[in-house]
Amino acid sequence: MIQVDLVLLAEQLRIRGCEACHEILAGPNGHYQEGLDLEEDFFPLWELSLPENEEALAQLDFAAIKARRGPGWSVAPPALGAH
């Protein structure tokens, strides 16, 4: 997994004119998801940290990251061992 500084990333995106902020969403059962709220979308930290999203994240290509989401995608991280 790659390291992502969400506060810095949100700041960089705001400088570029995007509506972005670091968010922590409350979920069911007391679980929380840290991530990036970008325009109309939420990108959880676990998703941004995936190796397959490293290049897209470096290019700030959030459409490519979103395109990798499969059917039934959720902000909750996938179960360990699930792909």
pLDDT for residue 1: 65
Structural domains of the chain, count: 1
Domain limits for position 44: 6-67
DSSP state of 38: E
Q: Would you say residue 18 lies in a domain?
A: yes
β-bridge partners, 34:
24
Give pLDDT tens digits along the chain (83 positions): 678 999 999 999 999 999 999 999 987 677 889 999 999 999 999 999 999 999 999 999 999 999 999 998 988 888 765 55
Q: Would you say residue 75 lies in a domain?
A: no
Q: Would you say residue 73 lies in a domain?
A: no
pLDDT for residue 48: 96
Q: Would you say residue 43 lies in a domain?
A: yes
Q: Give the integer Cα–Cα distance in Å for 61 and 41.
A: 13
pTM over 0.95: no
Q: How many CB atoms sit inside 10 A of residue 56's CB?
A: 18
